[in-house]
Chain A
Amino acid sequence: MAESPPQTAFAEEALTHLDTLYRGALRLTRDPDSAQDLVQEAYLRALRYQHSYQPGTNMKAWLFAIMRNLFWDRFKGSRKEDVSLDDVGEFVLYDKLRDEGAKPEADVLDKLAASEVVAAVEKLPPLHREVVLLVDVEGFSYRDAAQTLGVPIGTVMSRLHRARQQLQKSLYDYALESGIVRANGTKEVPNE
């Protein structure tokens, strides 16, 4: 039986956000198969509850909220275990590189492998990871991110700040290990 035009239109619009949902699910689960299952379940739930979606509002945020809520339902116990980033302290990669004489500092970024950047994001605790995904990767405003995550804007800002510090620390550690920068030195490994 053919579906009604409104449902087809809803499905078509929902599918335009598939890449965003899949990327989010992949970063949260860190497993392609689990990500596909999670996304499929999220779309089925969205279809079931499409009456609660208000046309003209942010469908991407609405779908992402469904997906991340399902993720947290599945990993319920792990919410408590979400690692605090309180002990990261202030870590600013730019300051660190400048202090160590790696100039120009931005050149270091060009030498980081994409896979290492993704790995650094995936190493973040999930509550912090999802804020980076929404704001830095998907371009959500703080307000939309707060609504999607069901937290105050201040929480989005503090999680984002801590997440960025941790991310920079991870990238710095990688840059040290791979010889892109040298601790307490002024020399940087040149590009071939």
Chain B
Amino acid sequence: MNCSDCKEKLDRYLDRELSNTEMLELQLHLEGCPPCTDNYEFQASLKRLVKVCCEQDKAPDALREKLRQILT
């Protein structure tokens, strides 16, 4: 695997959507390639950031209670 292949597969690696073999190949490439590792860590941080920021919103308690009464 070269850096171009790594870049092309990085989204799917981040999302754990590659086959086991591909995951391993990419992992091996990352272990020997600091620039790709930096890029991977940056993309992983960005993905985490989006998740953390968007997860802060919780359903209001009043809505939860209202739905509980309607549904049960």
Binding site for B on A (CB under 8 A): 3, 7-8, 11-12, 14-15, 18-19, 21-23, 26-27, 32, 36, 39-40, 43-44, 47, 93-95, 105-106, 109, 112, 114-115, 117-118, 121, 132-133, 135-137, 139, 141-142, 157, 160-161, 164, 167-168
Interface of A is mostly: helix
Other-chain contact of B72, A7, A36, A121, A164 (Cβ < 8 Å): A7
Residues of A within 8 A of B64 (CB): 15, 18
User: Any chain A CB within 8 A of the CB of B53?
Assistant: yes
- How would you classify the secondary structure of chain B's contact residues: helix, strand, loop or mixed? helix
Q: How many A-B residue pairs have CB under 8 A?
A: 103
Size range of the interface on B?
Answer: 20 to 34
How many angstroms between the C-alpha atoms of A3 and B47 in the bound complex? 42
Q: Which residues of A contact B67 (CB under 8 A)?
A: 15, 18, 39-40, 43
Within the complex, which residue of B43, B54, B68 is in contact with A137, where a contact is CB–CB below 8 Å? B54
Q: Which residues of B contact A (CB under 8 A)?
A: 11-12, 15, 17, 38-39, 41-43, 45-47, 49-60, 63-64, 66-68, 70-72
A22, B51: Cα distance in complex, Å: 15
Contact A47 B53 (CB under 8 A): no
Q: Is the CB of A142 within 8 A of B41?
A: no
